[in-house]
Amino acid sequence: MCLTTPGHIVRIDSPTPDVRLAEVDFGVAVRSVNLVFTPEAEVGDYVIVHSGFATRTLPEEEAREALAYARELALSAAGSPETASVGGSP
């Protein structure tokens, strides 16, 4: 199963007429993303990304709601005994 969070487009480049690449900010990292499947995407939009490709744009309200749920999940998992020692010291 894949779990993704929305990313915010901060810049778009078109190195060739057929290619649009975006810098997408995920809060913890900025990644280069291909916009071939989302030609309507513009700077300021939120997108869902899979394997380096934006697969859909999201309304800002939906993106903010998803980000809030992701923060809640991360906070609750950080306090969980099952995840306390995952990836580092307890």
Residue 88 within a domain: no
Given a cut of 60, whether residue 14 has pLDDT beyond it is: yes
Structural domain total, the chain = 1
For residue 37, the domain's CATH number is 2.30.30.140
Q: Which domain holds residue 54?
A: 7-78
| Cβ proximity of 47 and 58 under 8 Å | yes
Q: Is the dihedral of CA 72, 78, 79, 82 positive or negative?
A: positive
Question: In this structure, is residue 72 part of a structural domain?
Answer: yes
In a domain, residue 84? The reply is: no
54 located within any domain: yes
11 falls within a domain: yes
Q: Give the pLDDT confidence of 27-83 residue by residue, as tens digits.
A: 889 999 999 999 999 999 999 999 999 999 999 999 999 989 888 888 888 776 554
Using CA atoms, how far apart are residues 52 and 86, in angstroms rounded to an integer?
A: 26
- pLDDT value for 85: 39
**Structure confidence at residue 70 (pLDDT):** 85
What's the chain's average pLDDT? 86
- Residue 90 has a pLDDT of 40
1 within domain boundaries: no
Distance CA 21, CA 63 (A): 20
